[in-house]
Amino acid sequence: MCFYQKFSPKPQESPGFLESRMYTMGMETPTTPTTLQEAIIHFSDPANCHNFMVRLRWPDGNVMCPQCGSQDIKWLPNANVFKCFEKHPRQKFSLKAGTVVEDSPIGLDKWLPAVWMLANCKNGVSSWEIHRAVGVTQKTAWFMLQRIRLALQDRKIGGKLGGEVEVDETFIGGKARNMHRDRRAEAITGTGPSGKAIVAAVLQRGGKVRARVVKDCRRKSLHSLVRENVEVGSNVYTDALKSYDGLGEFAHQVIDHAECYVRGNVHTNGLENFWSLLKRGIRGTYVSVEPFHLFRYLDEQAFRFNNREEAGDSGRFVAAMGQAIGRRLTYRQLTGKVAEGRAAG
Ligand SMILES: [Zn+2]
């Protein structure tokens, strides 16, 4: 009997695996790891990896060929792939096909714990930690982490933010005095003070944060961030930076940090909290982040922040893996040899 035949959908089951945040397979006892240790043990069994990925990709249990959509599929246990019976190229496909881990020689027994760690460690995880914990080279671990960060990137489901929205900007990195002379000269001619990168963000109170690297603190850069992400008419709170002037379509109120930090509802403390998490991760865990890759670390921190209410570590892990589907990142794209298309996928 083929593996997939074991779990034909039952009518009483809730339709969506991601909604239920649980996965149970056929006759097996429901098992959901709740800690990193449990996850490592659980996913060391290839059958558990298989079950998890199948339920993630095909919640109703009907495995479908990614090339032609056929459900006339067979699992080949020795080759560890599915085979489609329709006649077309690439009849065989793995459990990783069509996800950020596609074509990776690293097994799911290593990938899934690595995703667990990055989705849940508040201050992030360095490639050296993954190297030691999972048993891959540091270089491989670095590439794995960058691919996982792509999965964590916000898909902006739910449209614009609204209600009470904080907007703020901050400077990241730029320890110019520790840099090599040539590098320093290059950095200091940049837009930010001492070559720092500038990050701006919008935060809906009680909701999501969206952060991005901006090229400067001028009106155009900050206004486009607000207009792309915030519903017209929302209450917008910023500091007294002149660049925020002119957001007339919003109910815009300003807190002048030279005078005080909070005036009733008017403050940016939610984003101050996000900045401190972000900086703790970048300074403490990653030590130095190339400006070229900074947006990936923003995606990572924003994911953990935005899923802070998620049903524990297990829920965040499942949410992260759910976002891993339909996204890819090759080594060439990652190292900048080919334009990546930030918003793609
Ligand atoms: Zn097919």
- Return d(Cα 65, Cα 68) in angstroms, integer: 6
130-142 residue pLDDT tens: 999 999 999 999 9
Report the separation in Å between the CA atom of 80 and the middle of ligand 1, taken as the mean of its atom positions: 17
Report the separation in Å between the CA atom of 8 and the middle of ligand 1, taken as the mean of its atom positions: 20
Report the separation in Å between the CA atom of 90 and the middle of ligand 1, taken as the mean of its atom positions: 8
Sign of the Cα pseudo-torsion (232, 244, 190, 278, in order): negative
Per run of 10 residues, the mean pLDDT along the chain (length 345 residues) is: 36 37 39 88 93 90 90 91 94 90 90 96 91 94 92 85 96 60 48 72 94 93 96 95 94 89 90 92 76 86 88 90 85 64 35
Report the separation in Å between the CA atom of 93 and the middle of ligand 1, taken as the mean of its atom positions: 9
Task: Please name the residue ranges forming H helices in the chain.
Answer: 17-20, 36-43, 46-57, 108-120, 127-130, 138-152, 181-188, 219-229, 269-280, 294-306, 312-323, 331-334
26-66 residue pLDDT tens: 434 446 799 999 999 999 999 999 999 999 988 888 999 98
pLDDT of the residue at 223? 96
Report the separation in Å between the CA atom of 85 and the middle of ligand 1, taken as the mean of its atom positions: 7
Report the separation in Å between the CA atom of 63 and the middle of ligand 1, taken as the mean of its atom positions: 11
306-340 residue pLDDT tens: 998 777 899 999 999 999 988 877 777 777 655 44
Residues with CB under 5 A from ligand 1 (ion): 65, 67-68, 70, 84, 86
Report the separation in Å between the CA atom of 30 and the middle of ligand 1, taken as the mean of its atom positions: 31
State the helix-helix crossing angle for 36-43 and 46-57, rounded to 10 degrees.
100
Q: Which residue has the tokens 């690297």?
A: 213
Report the separation in Å between the CA atom of 70 and the middle of ligand 1, taken as the mean of its atom positions: 5
Report the separation in Å between the CA atom of 71 and the middle of ligand 1, taken as the mean of its atom positions: 8
pLDDT of the residue at 122? 87
Report the separation in Å between the CA atom of 309 and the middle of ligand 1, taken as the mean of its atom positions: 39
Report the separation in Å between the CA atom of 324 and the middle of ligand 1, taken as the mean of its atom positions: 22
- Return d(Cα 290, Cα 282) in angstroms, integer: 11
Q: Which residue has the tokens 């300003």?
A: 254
Report the separation in Å between the CA atom of 84 and the middle of ligand 1, taken as the mean of its atom positions: 5
